[in-house]
Chain A
Amino acid sequence: MSHDTSAPTIEAVGLRKRFGEVEALAGLDLVAEPGRVLAVLGPNGAGKTTFVRTLATLVRPDAGELRVAGVDALRHPERVRRAIGLAGQYAAVEQAMTGRENLRMVARLFGHDRRRARAVADAVIERLGLAEAGDRLVRTYSGGMRRRLDLGASLVGAPRLLLLDEPTTGLDPRSRNELWDAIRALVATGTDVLLTTQYLDEADQLAHRIVIVDHGRVIADGTPGELKSLAGRDVVEVRARRADDLPALAAALAPLGAGEPRTDTATSRVAVPVETGRAAVAAAVRVLDDIDVEVDDIGLRRPTLDEVFLTLTGRPAEAADEPAETDTRGEQDELVASR
């Protein structure tokens, strides 16, 4: 194809898009190099979907410049469409067709002839581990299988850049893992990927580089490790039995931490960022021995997006840590469809 493969996959300069009162993109700058997986991480309403839809030529920005695969997306959107594959926030597959039929249809719309469309659909369905279910109506698929098929649909045109908007939101952990595997396998074949997510661990699992967006702007940019170190390497978290004890608990844990302890009264937890991981847990246990506080639980975990976010912005990423609306129908289907 005619695309310049040494050019950055994405070059966005000062992208702005306003919907009424809301500035969904507020001067977003981003350059993505070829051969990498880029995660755009941000809370609900940060502008992730608007950015992806702008890349996919579905939204026209009010201002700014955008090149995708070296093509000016505002001047030649039709050329950009030959270079991208989109899997949006919802699985956009036809329930009344089989998995294979869905992929064949999209393959035809990418421009494959009938015979090639058939071959490509078969190859992709195999690759996604859906071969057995491939001749069943999508209606009978679980939420996770639908998402995988949707991913497949964005692949059949062999796009240079894949755009995945919150590919695992609403999936149960098992389906999420399966989808992660599918995405990793893709990356290994050399497709560039931009994915959005609300979860730091997802970005961590899949991406070489993470860009954190908030209010339509990039507020941090780095490798997963770099970003997490902003909020301390690890977090020790302790749950008190009685909420009254939380101040005493926070005071006792403060000296262990690399930063201020955070108290969550709703869940009776104190979290403190630490540098030394397991050693810090041991230290915490010793400290707790010395004070008269009953503790239900003590643990070590990685920083969450919320904590990175708090460090960066001084305010919590509302709802970013809560699992988004769960696709309960998908989970029920999972039972029906499990082999």
Chain B
Amino acid sequence: MSTTTVPTTVTAVATAPAAAIEPPAGPPGPVATALTVAGRSVRRFVRTPQLLVVSTTTGAMFLLLFRYVFGGAVETGGIAYVDFLVPGYLVTSVLFTGSEAATGVAEDMEQGVTDRFRSLPVSRAAVVVGRVLAEWLLLTLGLVVTAAIGVAVGFRPDGTALEVAAAFGLCSLFGFAALWLFALIGLTAGNVQAAQGMSLMVFPLSFVSSAYVPVDSMPGWLQAVAEHQPVTVVTDAVRSLALGDPAAAGLDGSTAGSVGLALAWTAGLVAVFAPLAVQRYRRP
């Protein structure tokens, strides 16, 4: 910075103590940017204990409600309802966690945080990627907690350790894909209320699927919808892996086939929504 910008009155201002700050050598790289942004999201989560408590207890509460209220009424073809439910519950939980990310992104827009980040000499794509990666980490930790609660209420996966790990990984990957959709929702909504409103679509997506009840218990027209939407596809794959038996999960085909389809859906969602979200952040 040049001294020509100093007003001529500067000598009179004896109270100005501060030496000028050296400007940085250049803008930060994308990795440093993403890590810095991610650090903020993680801190924000860890330091807001209410958030931790609320999200864990709501997660646990709904799992208990489903398990003990619906458990007796739902016919799940020979397997215990808890074994049917927990894989589906894990898959849909990433949607509910993800919708909170949409709210967070919208809140940033409302409160000027997004304006600040966009005014900085950083890669805007790196800002979005950093945010989504942090949310993904938090979402995966949430999955661990939910799975543990599942085991506590009687869930006993019969798959091999590898299959169970793959089931968990698939839940987490599906969460990653969903986060891109929710980032886009938050950026499009621009304020918390609209983001919450748009996130309500999580309910039909979760309930009109094989996550909580078998699809063949639904009316015919609804079955057609439920069978072909990603939550069902991913749930079937996770359930088949976790139970170690596609037939127990109500599948006609093989576990591998169903996992392949789930991965294809996940990749497809990322391929569509990640560029849209980044684009949206770049050019408001």
In the bound complex, do residue A108 and residue B28 qualify as a contact, i.e. CB atoms below 8 Å apart?
yes
- Indicate if A187 sits at the interface (CB-CB under 8 A): yes
| Chain B, Cβ-Cβ closest to A160 | B1
How many Å lie between the Cα of A94 and that of B15 in the bound state? 30
Which residues of chain B are within 8 angstroms of A156 by Cβ–Cβ distance? 21
How many Å lie between the Cα of A160 and that of B18 in the bound state? 16
Stretch at the interface among A79-87, A199-207, A268-276, A317-325: A79-87
Which residues of chain B are within 8 angstroms of A137 by Cβ–Cβ distance? 47
How many Å lie between the Cα of A137 and that of B46 in the bound state? 13
Q: Mark B110-139, 1 if CB is under 8 A from A, else 0.
A: 011101111111100000000000000000
In the bound complex, do residue A112 and residue B24 qualify as a contact, i.e. CB atoms below 8 Å apart?
yes
Which residues of chain A are within 8 angstroms of B15 by Cβ–Cβ distance? 185, 188
How many Å lie between the Cα of A97 and that of B192 in the bound state? 21
Which residues of chain A are within 8 angstroms of B37 by Cβ–Cβ distance? 109
- Indicate if B78 sits at the interface (CB-CB under 8 A): no
- Indicate if B5 sits at the interface (CB-CB under 8 A): yes
Given known contacts A56-B115, A157-B23, is B18 in contact with A185 (CB within 8 Å)?
A: yes
In the bound complex, do residue A88 and residue B4 qualify as a contact, i.e. CB atoms below 8 Å apart?
no
Q: How many residues on the A side are at the interface (Cβ–Cβ under 8 A)?
A: 56
Which residues of chain A are within 8 angstroms of B7 by Cβ–Cβ distance? 35-36, 187-188, 190
Query: Measured between C-beta atoms, what is the minimum distance from B213 to chain A in Å?
Result: 39
How many Å lie between the Cα of A85 and that of B120 in the bound state? 8
- Indicate if B16 sits at the interface (CB-CB under 8 A): yes
In the bound complex, do residue B28 and residue A89 qualify as a contact, i.e. CB atoms below 8 Å apart?
no
Within 8 Å by CB of B33, from A5, A78, A96, A109, lies A109
In the bound complex, do residue A158 and residue B22 qualify as a contact, i.e. CB atoms below 8 Å apart?
yes
Which residues of chain A are within 8 angstroms of B152 by Cβ–Cβ distance? none
How many Å lie between the Cα of A96 and that of B45 in the bound state? 8
How many Å lie between the Cα of A101 and that of B40 in the bound state? 9
Given known contacts A92-B115, A190-B20, is B121 in contact with A5 (CB within 8 Å)?
A: no
| Chain B, Cβ-Cβ closest to A191 | B5
Known: A108-B28, A157-B120, A158-B20. 4 other contacts (CB 8 A): A35-B7, A97-B40, A116-B22, A123-B18
9 closest A-B pairs by CB = A111-B24, A188-B16, A92-B112, A190-B6, A158-B23, A5-B2, A88-B112, A86-B119, A188-B13
Q: List 22 A-B contacts (CB under 8 A).
A: A5-B2, A6-B4, A35-B6, A57-B119, A90-B111, A91-B112, A92-B112, A94-B40, A94-B113, A109-B122, A110-B24, A110-B120, A111-B27, A116-B24, A120-B21, A127-B17, A137-B47, A156-B21, A159-B23, A185-B15, A185-B16, A188-B16
